[in-house]
Amino acid sequence: MFISLWWYGTAYSAPKTVIVLGDSLSAEYGLARGSGWVALLEQRLQQQKMPVTMINASISGDTTSGALTRLPALLDKYHPTTVVVELGGNDGLRGLSLSASETNFRAIISTCRQAKANVLLLGMQIPPNYGLHYTQQFSAMYVNVAKSAKVPLVPFFLDGVADKAELFQPDQIHLIAAAHPRLLNNVWPYLLPLLK
């Protein structure tokens, strides 16, 4: 039976559960707890009275391979309706095989679908010092995976912050808290349709 819940003139279906499967960019590395984009997302959902439970399953340093290994247990435990996949940055920074990363992304999406969960893929880019060919192929990987697997793609998760040195922690890899509202705004319009 379909149950509609009405808030602010918008119809939302029964309660949802969203897992964020990510790395340090989503795990609040170097930040005060509650200041990262996932926590900000949870706050926005509560403010809008949307019946969504957020599970931040992000681990600093995680790769597509590591996330794929731990995904089945997460799906079994939380039974999510949507999985937000924020991965690949560590694969790229380590110069790992793009074909292996792409295979892992496809397996992650397939595993989520078998568990009846939608997938939102967050696109990433890596610095140009890794070579023009590798950096172009890296960013194209997300487009190829999203298109062939027919999942929504945030074109570039770090859009609007990647080119602003003042928004980075001293390591020049991780972002300060002030950058995270922009990350949320980059994700929000792509995630919202999956929550209705």
Report yes or no on 100 lying in a domain: yes
Q: Supply the pTM of this predicted model.
A: 0.92
Report yes or no on 117 lying in a domain: yes
Report yes or no on 7 lying in a domain: no
pLDDT, tens digit, 9 for 90 and up, residues 91-141: 998 989 999 999 999 999 999 999 999 999 999 998 888 888 999 999 999
pLDDT, tens digit, 9 for 90 and up, residues 130-187: 888 999 999 999 999 999 999 999 999 999 999 999 999 999 899 999 999 999 999 9
What one-character-per-residue DSSP string does 145-184 give?
HHHHHT--EES-TTTTTTT-GGGB-TTSSSBPGGGHHHHH
**pLDDT for the residue 117:** 98
Which residues are known to be catalytic? Answer: 24, 171, 174
Report yes or no on 10 lying in a domain: no
CATH of the domain at 41: 3.40.50.1110
Report yes or no on 43 lying in a domain: yes
Report yes or no on 6 lying in a domain: no
- Structure tokens that stand for 191 in this block: 């995630």
Report yes or no on 110 lying in a domain: yes
Side chain identity at residue 85, one-letter code? V
Report yes or no on 134 lying in a domain: yes
Domain around 145: 15-195
**Total of domains in the chain:** 1
Whether 82 contacts 19, CB under 8 Å: yes
